[in-house]
Chains A and B, each alone.
Chain A
Amino acid sequence: GAVVSQHPSWVICKSGTSVKIECRSLDFQATTMFWYRQFPKQSLMLMATSNEGSKATYEQGVEKDKFLINHASLTLSTLTVTSAHPEDSSFYICSAPPGLAASYEQYFGPGTRLTVT
């Protein structure tokens, strides 16, 4: 149980275009999902908390107009990188607590590797 999927697993896009990444909880519902970014040889940095039915909460320094998050349902959150630039190239990972209740445990999706050329 507690499987989280992401799509696509990797994507290459041109500078200035937008890219949407999907995060799905396959066998459970999640009111909250988290989006992380990881640069090579660095740790995970939380970008934002996605909340079903309300606006996402962004971490300090993360541009909410550039990284659009939509928690469309209890099993789907999307992250759209708008007007992508090469510095946005990174490994984007989502996670979700296993269930509707708040929980410290998180299960991670397999990640999406974004390359902006």
Chain B
Amino acid sequence: QKEVEQNSGPLSVPEGAIASLNCTYSDRGSQSFFWYRQYSGKSPELIMFIYSNGDKEDGRFTAQLNKASQYVSLLIRDSQPSDSATYLCAAPPRDDYKLSFGAGTTVTVRA
């Protein structure tokens, strides 16, 4: 079982819609979770991190964490064409600072 798994996508949404990305993790000891955005040919950039159960909002992005279900999600509201990218979920395993990345979900926002 992979440490971090993401819904494979690709995901296509119309401009202005909500894009919903899902991620599950296997290590119950993981305490923090990260969402990175990666444009084609570029390196990842951090867009959100979440440590506590519940929701965390930052602009048009909302991260949701459910530790009991070992589930992390990212919602992108009012999707824009500039949001078209691959989104990577990442988590460090227990007692480690190395990040395990999911396979990524490619999002395309249709104008």
Contacts and interface: CB of A to CB of B under 8 A. Distances in A.
B8 to A, nearest CB: 11
A111 B43 contact: yes
Nearest to A97: B97
Measured as residues with beta carbon below 8 angstroms from the partner, the interface class of chain B is: 20 to 34
Given A105-B46, A110-B43, A111-B42, A43 B97 contact: no
Interface in A94-117: 97, 102-111, 113
A105 B34 CA distance: 8
A104 B43 contact: no
Contacts of B34: 104-105
Contacts of B99: 34, 46, 104, 106
Interface stretch (B14-22, B56-64, B101-109): B101-109
Interface of B: 31-32, 34, 36, 41-46, 49, 88, 92, 97-104
Given A46-B98, A93-B44, A102-B97, 13 more contacts: A43-B101, A43-B104, A44-B88, A45-B101, A97-B97, A103-B97, A104-B31, A104-B97, A106-B46, A108-B44, A109-B43, A110-B43, A111-B42
